[in-house]
């Protein structure tokens, strides 16, 4: 099935991707990290490389997470469109100099007669996508033994497992609340997978 995007939606996705990437770049730089694998003292070069790192890891995780929601919503015949939250994007940018952010860049708005099961499947697609991306970065870490690739893979792994777990929080409008309302079994299986990836498998990666 081919997904359909409106021009306004593409603008919102691009805006959210850039804002989140900038915010995470600032967080990494403030914490004394960033793209240190370059071996240069130039702050500008490190900042640019860190932005690319963030765009590839955080940005891709965010985009594919939202795309998964949209795909399954449209698969069920519902209208689905991502809408950025300018207030939350601004908050993320303002908080980033403090070394942490609240990443709620927006959401896929869905309309139509949606069953509880459909809502649960649409919701669970996001965190599962992040966990699959994390496994992809894990494979990258162990197959390409170059320091800069391993740095990208390590950060991509942890940020995507964290994004998946964060969205599984069963409150407010998070995915976790909708998944839990549909199926406790699938909710706790997905949560267990995320916790295993983050706390058990993650122990073998230098982060």
Query: Catalytic positions, please?
Result: 66
- Chain centroid to CA 25: how far? 14
Residue 78 DSSP code: -
Question: What is the Cα–Cα distance from 41 to 20, expressed in whole angstroms?
Answer: 25
Q: Residue 110: beta bridge partners?
A: 80
Q: 161, 134 in Cβ contact below 8 A?
A: yes
Concatenating the DSSP letter of every residue in 153-198 gives: HHHHHHHHHHHHHHHT--STTSHHHHHHHH-HHHHHHHHHHHHIII
Q: 112, 79 in Cβ contact below 8 A?
A: yes
3-state secondary structure of 39: coil
Helix axes 184-195, 147-167, angle to 10 degrees: 150
Residue 42 DSSP code: -
3-state secondary structure of 79: strand
């Amino acid at each position: 099935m081919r997904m359909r995007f409106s021009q306004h939606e593409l603008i919102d996705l691009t805006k959210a991707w850039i804002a989140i990437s900038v915010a995470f770049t600032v967080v990494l730089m403030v914490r004394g990290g960033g793209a240190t694998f370059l071996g240069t003292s130039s702050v500008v070069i490190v900042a640019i490389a860190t932005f690319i790192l963030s765009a590839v890891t955080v940005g891709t995780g965010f985009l594919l997470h939202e795309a998964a929601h949209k795909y399954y919503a449209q698969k069920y015949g519902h209208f689905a469109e991502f809408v950025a939250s300018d207030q939350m994007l601004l908050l993320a940018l303002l908080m980033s100099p403090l070394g942490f952010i609240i990443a709620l860049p927006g959401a896929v708005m869905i309309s139509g007669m949606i069953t509880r099961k459909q809502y649960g499947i649409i919701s669970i697609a996001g965190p599962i996508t992040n966990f699959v991306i994390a496994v992809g970065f894990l494979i990258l870490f162990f197959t390409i033994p170059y320091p800069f690739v391993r740095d990208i893979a390590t950060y991509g792994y942890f940020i995507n497992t964290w994004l998946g777990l964060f969205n599984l929080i069963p409150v407010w409008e998070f995915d976790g609340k909708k998944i839990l309302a549909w199926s406790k079994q699938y909710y706790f299986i997905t949560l267990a997978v995320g916790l295993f990836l983050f706390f058990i498998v993650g122990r073998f990666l230098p982060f």
